[in-house]
């Protein structure tokens, strides 16, 4: 009699334990991929979820954005410069079914794909582009990653290149190149200034040649400027026109 009661109580206890164990609680950012006898059944959650023990299995998926740190990669640029580049990738799962069924470990797969994509994309650009056009390179890497991880139910939201480490000898070479570029720009600016000044002087000379009165006025201004100087000796230039006038005037009185 006691054995029958104990056996019935044990069965009830086992049933209660199974019922309690079949309930799962999923948070707002979690989803459960449920399999029925090995086959995909449905995606459940959030909230209280019932999973039949022994018949159904559930895999939890976090839908929050994952910050993936891409290790430093050795990249050879298009102009044959060896650099070390690391980056950070922001992605999240948008389709839990694909993230579980289509790839074994979506986190490891995304990490490996990010490393190879970083080397492949940056290897197509020169060093100057890596240093000056990071926003465009970030967008290129993000688009490539997003298109390749779409089959895994993953959305790559953003990619940021963190550091571009250059060899010390290359740093010195870049510094010399920058200094040479600054000198070139200074010479170009100086040459452009000389060209503009010569063009202005040519225009002024042409105008003075067309109007002798303006030339005489300029001559008088020069004399006034010399007279204001405190030098002891002043040499006044004598215009050729004035000598011609004197010669012509002296020749009038002759028979």
CA separation for the pair 59, 41 (Å, rounded): 12
Instruction: Please write the tens of the pLDDT for every residue from 137-177.
Output: 999 999 999 999 999 999 999 999 998 888 776 667 677 77
% the chain with pLDDT above 70: 73
Q: Which comes out higher in pLDDT, residue 210 or 161?
A: 161
Query: What's the whole-model pTM score?
Result: 0.65
Contact by Cβ (8 Å): 36, 55: yes
Rounded average pLDDT over 33-58: 91
Instruction: Please write the tens of the pLDDT for every residue from 221-240.
Output: 666 666 666 655 655 555 55
Structural domains of the chain in order of their starting residue, each with its CATH number: 2-62 (no CATH), 66-166 (3.30.479.30)
What confidence score (pLDDT) does residue 199 get?
82
State yes or no: pLDDT of 255 exceeds 50. no
CA separation for the pair 76, 59 (Å, rounded): 41
CA separation for the pair 148, 54 (Å, rounded): 36
Q: How far apart are the first and last CA of the chain?
A: 173
What confidence score (pLDDT) does residue 7 get?
66
State yes or no: pLDDT of 252 exceeds 50. no
């Amino acid at each position: 009699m006691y054995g029958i009661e104990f056996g019935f109580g044990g069965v009830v206890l086992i049933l209660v334990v199974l019922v309690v164990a079949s309930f799962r609680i999923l948070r707002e950012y979690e989803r459960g991929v449920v399999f029925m006898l090995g086959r995909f059944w449905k995606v459940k959650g959030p909230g209280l979820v019932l999973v039949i023990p022994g018949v159904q299995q559930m895999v939890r998926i976090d839908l929050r954005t994952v910050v993936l740190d891409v290790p430093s990669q050795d990249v050879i640029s298009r102009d044959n410069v060896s650099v070390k580049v690391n980056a950070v990738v922001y992605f999240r799962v948008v389709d839990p079914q694909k993230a579980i069924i289509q790839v074994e470990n979506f986190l490891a797969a995304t990490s490996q794909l990010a490393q190879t994509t970083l080397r492949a994309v940056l290897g197509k650009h020169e060093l100057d582009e890596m240093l000056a056009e990071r926003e465009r390179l970030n967008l290129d890497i993000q688009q490539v990653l997003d298109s390749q991880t779409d089959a895994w139910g993953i959305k790559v939201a953003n990619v940021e290149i963190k550091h571009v480490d250059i060899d010390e000898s290359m740093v010195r070479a870049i510094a010399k190149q920058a200094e040479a570029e600054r000198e070139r720009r200074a010479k170009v600016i100086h040459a452009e200034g000389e060209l503009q000044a010569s063009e202005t002087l040519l225009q002024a000379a042409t105008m003075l040649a067309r109007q002798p009165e303006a030339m005489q006025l300029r001559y008088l201004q020069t004399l006034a400027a010399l007279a204001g100087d405190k030098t002891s000796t002043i040499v006044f230039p004598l215009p050729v026109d004035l000598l011609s006038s004197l010669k012509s005037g002296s020749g009038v009185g002759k028979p």
